[in-house]
Amino acid sequence: MNKKVNAKREAYAKKQEKQGQKVIAWIFGVLLVLTLLYLCWIIGMM
């Protein structure tokens, strides 16, 4: 029974790690897009 619990915990930890990496990738992507929009806005103000 202990092996089942450990297997479930490991699977859950892997799933959480993948989701965390996906969230971080989305955050960096949004920041990159906002940076590009800001640069376009600055260039447009010149």
**23, 42, 43, 20: which is closest to 31 by C-alpha?**
23
The alpha-carbon radius of gyration of the chain (Å, integer) is 20
Binned at pLDDT 50, 70 and 90, residue 25 comes out as: very high
Q: Which two tokens stand for residue 26?
A: 């989305």
Q: Which two tokens stand for residue 32?
A: 């990159």
What average pLDDT does range 8-22 have in this prediction?
A: 95
Q: Percent of the chain having pLDDT more than 70?
A: 100
**35 vs 11, 29, 38, 41, 43, CA distance in Å?**
36, 10, 5, 10, 12
What pLDDT score does 29 carry?
98
Report the C-alpha gap between 18 and 12 in whole angstroms.
Answer: 10
Binned at pLDDT 50, 70 and 90, residue 20 comes out as: very high
